[in-house]
Amino acid sequence: MQWNRASAGCVHPHVLEDYLRRQDGVITLQQAQRAGLSEFAVRRRVRAGQWRRCSPGVYFADDRPFTAAARIRAAVWSRGHRATASGLAAAWWLGLMTTAPDIVEITVPRNSHGRAARGTRLRRRDLAEIDIIEHRSLRVTALALTVLEAATRRGGGAGIMDAALQRRLGLAHLQQAHTRNGARHGAAACRRLLDAAAGGARSEAERLLVHSLKSAGITGWHANFPVGDYVVDIAFPRQRVAVEVDGWAFHSDHAAFQNDRERQNLLALAGWQVLRFTWFDLTQHPDRVLAEIRASVSAR
């Protein structure tokens, strides 16, 4: 009892609360001990229902909501100090997605042992240091690798890559990360995305649209149809409906953006309805694209 009273006197409540505040209510045994709690004191808090044991050495303070951030943090920390959030979990942690995934993907060293806990998925591979960062006190895959992996996961998609290229990441960084991690899950699909991004994907988008129109039995259209000084990608001349196809959004610089708007305005003044679709629309939402084209053509 004397030892316990001495330990209790060494507790630093401000340090303890700072850990919990910064870490979404999640704390490790080592951190608790640095704040002055003994292992016995930690177990006592668990028995009293104040703390929840998430895994050996990882706890959650139950006086606050168990948020998505707490769930992901606890899951990653449960796999040890070399575990790294990856895939969609990393994408959400870095702000690339608005909804946290139900399954937390965790990358662990190749020689690690143990099975994935419920609600987690393990990837066993050795990451280069350049592909790991610490963000909000959690190890996550670096931005480039995170984008590559999330873009090929179900629930992610190529839009993540395009958005990252538009805002904060160079294509060369993605290609370098892909080369360093060529044997990872989803690498082949990612290479196709990178090839499409490098070429803008406009020609591929046009081919996809033509194929979709033919497969759906939609007739009355002409490809590369001249309208005044412009050539429309796909035109329904009788209904005066023009379908314009774009590649990846990150290729759109200011000059191209301005030219597209002038072109669209002139077509509208000539009595044409203009529909615009991107490579993403055609690959991710082909049924919606066809439905919009059918609705526009039938309405005119």
Task: Read off the pLDDT of residues 241-266 as tens digits, 9 standing for 90 and up.
Answer: 999 887 666 555 545 555 667 778 88
Distances (CA, A) of 35 to 10, 28, 72, 147: 8, 11, 23, 36
Partners of 241 in the β-ladder = 236, 273
CA separation for the pair 284, 103 (Å, rounded)? 22
Judged against a pLDDT cut of 80, whether residue 162 lies above it is answered with no
Q: With bands split at pLDDT 50, 70 and 90, how would you rate the model's confidence at 7?
A: very low
Mean pLDDT of 12-28: 95
Which range of 8-22, 118-132, 282-296 scores highest in mean pLDDT? It is 118-132
Contacts of 241 (CB under 8 A, 6+ apart): 235, 272, 273, 275, 293, 296, 297, 300
Judged against a pLDDT cut of 90, whether residue 31 lies above it is answered with yes
* 99 vs 211, higher pLDDT: 99
Cα dihedral sign, 186-189-191-196: negative
Contact of 35 with 25, CB cutoff 8 Å: no
Mean pLDDT of 97-120: 94
Mean pLDDT of the chain: 87
Mean pLDDT of 188-205: 71
DSSP 96: S
Contacts of 222 (CB under 8 A, 6+ apart): 234, 235, 237
DSSP 131: G
